Each structure stands twice: as C-alpha cells, then as structure tokens.
Amino acid sequence: MFDLSSAAHMPHDLLADARDRALPQSQEFAAALRFTGLSPLQLERMQDMVVLRRKFFGRIPVAMINRARMDKPERLLEILQEEGMPRTPVLLSPEQPSPELARLGALPLMTPASVAMLDLSGNTDTRRARLQQKWRNRLNMAEQGDLRITRQNMPVDAGHWLLQADASLQKARGYRSWPIGLTLAYAKANPGQAKLFQAFQGKDIVAGILVFTHGDRATYHIAHSTDAGKACNAHNLLMWSAMEWLAAKGMHSLDLGVVNTEDAEGLARFKLGTGARVKALGGTWIYWPPLGRKLAPLAAIDLRLMRA
C-alpha cells in the first residue's frame, strides 16, 4: 500500500507522480511482488521506478521495466549500470512512444499495443453522457432487470470462482496473464485495494469483475460473465457500478487494459463503449549494455519496419 508516512516528506510534484502511475509502476504492485518473495528494484533517482529482475532459463539475468514513463531513457540506462547491471539485458516497455531508445541502441521487439483509458472525472451525469449509445442502452436494460450488485474486498482464496474462471479462459484461449498467486498477493499486500464486484440473479452469481486501486488510479484486472449474465447485460451494470464507486473514492481514471480489435473484438467494443480513449504505449525493446550505441543503426531500421 502507498506509504503515507514517507509521502509526507516528498515534494508535491514527486508525490503526485507516485500516485499517478500505471499499475506495474505503482508502489502497490511493488508491494505485491515483495509479498510473493520477489525483490523488485526501485530506482530512487528515477522517482522509484519499479524494475523487476528475473532469470530466464534459471540462469540468464534480465531486468524488466514495464509501463514506465521514460522521459530520460539515456539517464535511466546509465543508472541501471550504476546499480550493478553493467552487462544485464534490459527489457523496456515504455508508457509512451520513445523513439529515443533506438538512438541509444535498444532494439524493438514488439510493436506498440494500445490500452483503453477511462476518464472518471465529472459527475454521474457527465460520466453517463460519455457512454456510447448502445452501451448505455444495455446499461439501462440491466438497471431495469432483477440484478443485485455487491462489492467487497477480494477474498484471499485461490479457489474463488472468478480466479478459476479466468484461469480456465487463459488455458482455453492460449494466453497468459497474472498468476493467481500474484493476484492474491496484491490483495494481501494492499488491504482494501482489490475490490470485487459481483452480480446476482436471486442467489446465483452471474458475473463478476475485480478492480485494483493504486494511488489515484485504478485498473480493471479480470472479469467473467456466465451465459445468464450476458443475457441480462450484467457486465455493463458491474462496470458502471465500479466506475461510480471509483469516482466517489477520488480515482481520476480507470485503465481498462489492452484493446485488441483482431483477437478480441467484442471485448474491445465493450471497453470503448464506456467512453474510454485509446492510448498507444511504447512497444517493447531490448537493450544490452556491452553493445550500447553500436546497435543504433540496426535499431533504426527495425523501428522503420515496425511502423511500415
């Protein structure tokens, strides 16, 4: 959880920055990693940027920096070497496009993804007006139905139906997200900041979503809806309930995650129907200090190919 005792001694601009970060760069995420036994490095000279250190194949050390603002990438790479990683490969996934990385010799590995960012500012009428018409119509139908919405802290239970449903979906569709252990670690390390919203028809749970809060922002983590839940637009009502609760708690935005119009068109439509805007991230790069700027010409070619 965000350490208010230390925050009291931080300059106002640094405090604001610490509370306005993507989930992988938040103090809350770092606390969850520590709870699992990992030891993320937090670069004090880069406003506590979170660096995850792992070993590939059990022996190759790699540093990973995800969703970080990289306004000064050259200084960041210098600090990493000063922190004892002079030969460690670094995987960099900036929060925003960072072509400066190519000049420094980082090679692009993956083209930039886009995420849906939902503005929670204003009042209820303002947020409702931002909804796309079809999305708002489905919300209206759900509100007129027999659904009951509940909110609670996420139970620390690996067998919880929502976690198991998400794990089954990952297996069926062949993708990987957070392991259950890390999700539970977030709930343990940050009491009250993993909120579970569930929709009931009578005594039956028909849908649920799990939202993480971190600083002044929130992130839509996982969700699942049964066939009955889909038939009554439970997901729309759950999302709206979460939006209103988060806004009341002072959260200024909700990160709805990656927008994939090719493999998950329906989910992308749902996210954008909330009125969220599409934000491009900075792709994924690899930098190896021993070569440094020697790879800059190759990086520039790869960058042009990625944009083609």
Note the pLDDT of residue 11: 47
Q: Which residue has the higher pLDDT, 60 or 29?
A: 29
At 292, the pLDDT band (50, 70, 90 cuts) reads low
Phi and psi at residue 165, in whole multiples of 5°?
-65, -40
At 17, the pLDDT band (50, 70, 90 cuts) reads confident
At 304, the pLDDT band (50, 70, 90 cuts) reads low
Residues 12-38 as b/e (b if ≥16 CB within 10 A, e otherwise) read eeebebbbbbbbbbbbbbbbbbebeee
Domain positions in the chain are 40-112+281-307, 115-280
At 3, the pLDDT band (50, 70, 90 cuts) reads very low
Helix axes 161-173, 180-189, angle to 10 degrees: 140
Give the DSSP per-residue string, 236-264: HHHHHHHHHHHHHTT--EEEEEE--TTT-
Q: What tens digit of pLDDT does each residue of 155-209 get?
A: 999 999 999 999 998 888 888 889 999 999 999 999 999 999 999 999 999 999 9
The structure tokens 């350490």 sit at 3
CA 137 to chain centroid, in Å, comes to: 28
Q: Give this prediction's pTM.
A: 0.89
Q: What tens digit of pLDDT does each residue of 246-272 get?
A: 999 999 999 999 998 887 899 999 999
pLDDT at 70 exceeding the cut of 80? yes
Percent of the chain past pLDDT 90, that is, above it, reads 77
Q: Classify domain 115-280 by CATH architecture.
A: 3-Layer(aba) Sandwich (3.40)
pLDDT at 103 exceeding the cut of 80? yes
pLDDT at 88 exceeding the cut of 80? yes
pLDDT at 4 exceeding the cut of 50? no
